[in-house]
Structures are given as C-alpha cells and as structure tokens.
Amino acid sequence: MLSALERFAPLPLQESWDNAGLQVGLTETEVSGALLCLDVNERIVDEAIQKGCNLIVSHHPLLFRGLKTISDLTDVQRTVMKAIQNGICVVSMHTNMDNAKDGVNFKIAEKLGLQQVHFFATKSVDGVEAGSGVIGELAGPLAADDFVKVLKKTFDVECAMCNELLRRPVRKVAICGGAGDFLLDAAIAEGADAFITGEMHYHQYFGYEQRIQICVIGHYQSEQFTSEIFRDIIAKECHDVKTFIAETNTNPISYF
C-alpha cells in the first residue's frame, strides 16, 4: 500500500521542510481497511476504529516535528497514543502529492473542468517532472463574477476572498492548493487571468488590480478532494483493500 502511494508521489518530491511518509505504525502490517482524510486528529482515529480500518492515509502530516514526549498533553500526542494503542498505521502524502503529476492541483483543475492542464514553475526531482502549481483553460470564457460563483459552488465555500473583480473574461486559470501566494507572480508570467489558492497573506493582495483575479477559497476547501486521489491509487494498485473517505470534517476554521 505504502509503496503504491509512493510510486505515484515519490517522497523526494516533498519540500525540505516537510515530513511525508510513514508517521505511525509498522510498514508490513496487513491492511484491513484504509480511512482517507486531509488531517489526522483523535476524531479521525475514532472514525478509523469505528469503520474497522487499521490504516489512515492523510494529506497533512500528523507529525511535522519530532516529539520529545508522548502523553496526553497535546492533541498530536493523544492522537499518536490512540493510533498505537489501537494498532493503526498513519501515512501522510503531503507536498510530494502537491508536486506530483495528477496530484492535488490536477484534482482541483479536474473539479473545475479545466482543459490542457499542465505544471507551471516546473522542477525536476530525480528525473521526475514536478511542480507546485498547475495552469489550464476553462471550457469557455467567464465574467469574473460568474467565475467566482462557479468556484464557490464547486468547492462548497461560503465566501471567496478576492481582489477587485477583473474587467476582462477569465479564460486561463492557475492553481496552487493550500498556501500558494508564492506562485502569484509566476501565474501572471504564465498569462493566467485568475489564480486560485487556499490561503494568502494580506499584503499579497495589493498591486494586482486588473492584472489577475485572485481567488482564495480556504486551505481545507482547496484540498478537500485529495482523498479521492488516494482512493483511486489504492483501487488501482491494491484491489482487495476497502477504502473509506472520512466523514469527519477536520477544518479548524468556522465561519459565522
């Protein structure tokens, strides 16, 4: 199972600060079922137990930094303890899945029905083409306000944080799920009319009026379909393994 995921998104594709791969458990464990999710917390482990899964595959790593203590003091420590106590392995596929062909950003593009999707700001890692963002074209041009409406409906977001609405049609769309403001200028250089990401620093919104339509839809919301990638990899490579897309919403942000 782990090898199938890593063939799709090799670990060398992850960023230097990341900690993708096996988080908790034994690599040779026979999988009874896999729960697929964005984040790992105690409630996710509880759902895995309830569904009879001994493997959790997440996008965001449970462990970004090393633990000096495993106790009941923090959510991460309690989650690690509960997983170990219940014989549950945790595997995370983070920036390696962001950077992989047909990974997170390609899934976002698919949901929007973009065509001719390809990497921009590309890089090569061990001879494998990769990139932190993708760019593609809408099936037909949309007015900026209509484009934002489509975006909100597709990703079921209550609001999108945008700069001034573009006064030209949106045709070419650049995407970087999660925190992607570092690619904004590269998106403009690629000729994008709109840039979609999950979160962006306040000051990054300044100075781009009528240059590009910025659309920030929330970190969780932008990456919510990543579990579908995991499901499809496992279905193709490990036919007998039952998979479940988590029902637990782990988004820590509420909108009032």
Q: Are 172 and 140 in contact (CB under 8 A)?
A: no
The per-residue pLDDT for 116 is: 98
**Distance between CA atoms of 237 and 128, rounded to whole angstroms?**
20
Nearest residue to 76 (alpha-carbon basis) of 56, 59, 62, 86: 62
Mean pLDDT of residues grouped by 10 in the chain (256 residues)? 92 96 89 97 98 98 92 95 97 97 98 97 89 97 98 96 98 98 97 98 97 98 98 94 97 91
The per-residue pLDDT for 59 is: 98
Beta pairing class for 89-92 and 115-125: unpaired
The per-residue pLDDT for 1 is: 78
The DSSP bridge partners found for residue 197 are 176, 216
The per-residue pLDDT for 28 is: 81
Q: What are the backbone angles phi and psi of residue 123, rounded to the nearest 5°?
A: -150, 160
Helices (DSSP H) in 9-74: which residue ranges?
42-51
- Measured in Å, how far apart are the chain's first and last C-alpha atoms? 40
Token output for 195: 């840039």
